Amino acid sequence: MPVTRARSIVGMGDAVGELIEEVTVDAYGLGEQLWSFRQAFADTARCPFRGRVAGVLVDVVAVEFDGDELGGLIAVCERSDERHAVVLLDVVPDDSLSDETRALIDAYRRWARAGPIPVADLDHPPPRRESSTWNERL
């Protein structure tokens, strides 16, 4: 039996590790594990949820996998009646996530070795930097 990514990181003895094992138990290879995470999001996560992508407020309406193992899971985001697909790891969700959705994001981030969910302050976005022209910078 080949060693999989999930089996190499779940031995932490906690709820997140157990969820990773549960989601990926019958999945071998990155592609199958990503499809398993995508299915877990479809079955369990509560969408839409709010978050930020590069500081911009969005609603995540779905989590998908397009078959690109290097790209990972995709967050389908809506903003101002437009839809955009971004890497799920680039979304900083707000604090209103359901417990199930937070657990799945925590598990996916650990599985992907991306670290814990960053904290988003939706009421106080980062200050806007004034842009300058090229000539002003010289």
Rg of the chain in Å (alpha carbons): 17
Q: Provide the whole-model pTM.
A: 0.77
pLDDT digits (tens, 9 = 90+) for 71-100: 999 999 999 989 999 999 999 998 888 999
Which residues, in sequence order, are CB contacts of 80 under 8 Å at separation 6+?
Answer: none
Structure token digits, residue 114? 């991306």
Residues (pLDDT < 70) of the chain are 1-13, 119-138
Other CB atoms within 10 Å distance of the CB of residue 38? 21
CA 114/CA 108 separation, integer angstroms: 9
Could you tell me the residue ranges of all domains in the chain? Answer: 5-116
